[in-house]
Amino acid sequence: SGSSSDATPSLINFTTRNINLGPSGNPHAKPTDFDFLKVIGKGSFGKVFLAKRKLDSKYYAIKVLQKKVILNRKEQKHIMAERNVLLKNVKHPFLVGLHYSFQTTDKLYFVLDFVNGGELFFHLQKERTFLESRARFYIAEMASALGYLHSLNIVYRDLKPENILLDHEGHIVLTDFGLCKEGISQTDTTSTFCGTPEYLAPEVLRKQPYDNTVDWWCLGSVLYEMLFGLPPFYSRDTHEMYDNILHKPLVMRAGASNAAWSLLQGLLEKDGALRLGAREDFNEIKTHPFFSTINWNDLEQKKIPPPFTPNVNSYSDISNFDPEFTEEMVPNSVCWTQEHSIVNASVMEADDAFVGFSYAPPSEDSFL
């Protein structure tokens, strides 16, 4: 069953290597190639570390996941989908890039771009709200990334400020593709219940089939939060919030332009079929008056200077990460000596759950 999840290899002009070549099942990367320096994030399946590659002192973010936890929760499909989506991101400026993936007996490793300008959430908490011009820039970059994923028939499903990072220049980088759904074209729907309560679209809450318009609802929620400081239907009481999302009309508030209101009303339309983006996806978003000042070609070539530059003083600066993570000790087990991580063919294919997980770029220089 593992191989069927490898979506259209034609999009990926390089082959994934499935052969067992030593400790990590990957000839190009293994845990001992890296010094694991700091914890910079945590999720339900593992942690994210700042790591330095010994060979060239380059910094990466390495997401280390526990196979046991993934298998216990029957999440291996999500993890393989995440890997497949990451492989397709190579070509987009606002999506985090995967450099390697490899596995040991008990862990999976994603070696990703280290993006150190901090979560958008981190900056929004500090400043409460953003000026409309700044919000417009971020929303445009996010919309571009979502439009690209949709063009590959991928629904992102989990757009929220915690998954939106800023790079050191201040551009948006979307991370965390664990909830992406592959193979969803505009006419397809899926009905898995997932996402984060504040940002869930009504059709997801109702457990109805949904399509990529759920991403445009999330985009509207994030824009609203940037302008007004809280998600649109927020309540401390989750049940009340769900009820608000399902039934409460969007109440107009002072402090945003007419164009911003018009966009919010279009994106936060409760009926997915009437929502902005339902007919022509990203093209409908692009041409909305709110973005009349945005030159989309310039935006995608990063020619528009970001409205805010994060305070980053080196490639390894972690001051924009939550101290709750960065003060934690790095466990030795993430980079055990090779004897601990010998992987024989039978273990490597751990019940076929992670076949084909390992990946290396077609040539070393492709990322230099």
- For residue range 292-343, what is the model confidence (pLDDT) as tens digits? 999 999 999 999 999 999 999 988 899 988 888 888 888 877 765 444 444 4
What is the reported pLDDT for 20? 35
Which of 61-70, 114-123, 127-136, 233-242 is predicted most confidently?
127-136
**Residue 174 burial (C-beta neighbours within 10 Å; 0-12, 13-18, 19+):** buried
Instruction: Please report which confidence band the pLDDT of residue 26 belongs to, taking 50, 70 and 90 as the band edges.
Output: low
Q: Looking at the structure, tell me whether residues 288 and 170 fall in a common domain.
A: yes
Alpha-carbon gap, residue 114 to 52, rounded angstroms: 10
Which of 273, 300, 327 marks a domain boundary?
300
Q: Is the pLDDT of residue 8 over 50?
A: no
pLDDT mean over 6-22: 33
Least confident of 9-13, 84-88, 131-135: 9-13
Q: Looking at the structure, tell me whether residues 259 and 347 fall in a common domain.
A: no
Alpha-carbon gap, residue 65 to 77, rounded angstroms: 14
Least confident of 11-20, 25-34, 122-131, 204-213: 11-20
Residue bearing the bigger pLDDT, 218 or 163 = 218
What is the reported pLDDT for 17? 33
Catalytic residues: 158
Confidence (pTM)? 0.80
| Residue 63, annotated as binding a ligand | yes
Contacts of 85 (CB under 8 A, 6+ apart): 149, 154, 177, 180, 182
108 forms bridges with which residues in the sheet?
65, 103
Residue 167: domain span: 120-300
What is the reported pLDDT for 90? 60
Q: Looking at the structure, tell me whether residues 169 and 256 fall in a common domain.
A: yes
Q: Looking at the structure, tell me whether residues 127 and 261 fall in a common domain.
A: yes
Percent of the chain with pLDDT over 90: 43
Q: How many domains does the chain have?
A: 2
Instruction: Please report which confidence band the pLDDT of residue 363 belongs to, taking 50, 70 and 90 as the band edges.
Output: low
Q: Looking at the structure, tell me whether residues 172 and 242 fall in a common domain.
A: yes
Alpha-carbon gap, residue 31 to 90, rounded angstroms: 22
Least confident of 15-19, 108-112, 249-253: 15-19
What is the reported pLDDT for 340? 43
Alpha-carbon gap, residue 65 to 46, rounded angstroms: 4
pLDDT mean over 97-112: 88
Alpha-carbon gap, residue 224 to 127, rounded angstroms: 15
Residue bearing the bigger pLDDT, 276 or 193 = 276
Is 88 within a domain? yes
Q: Looking at the structure, tell me whether residues 61 and 162 fall in a common domain.
A: no
Q: Looking at the structure, tell me whether residues 211 and 166 fall in a common domain.
A: yes
39 forms bridges with which residues in the sheet?
49
Q: Is the pLDDT of residue 185 over 60?
A: no
Is 306 within a domain? no
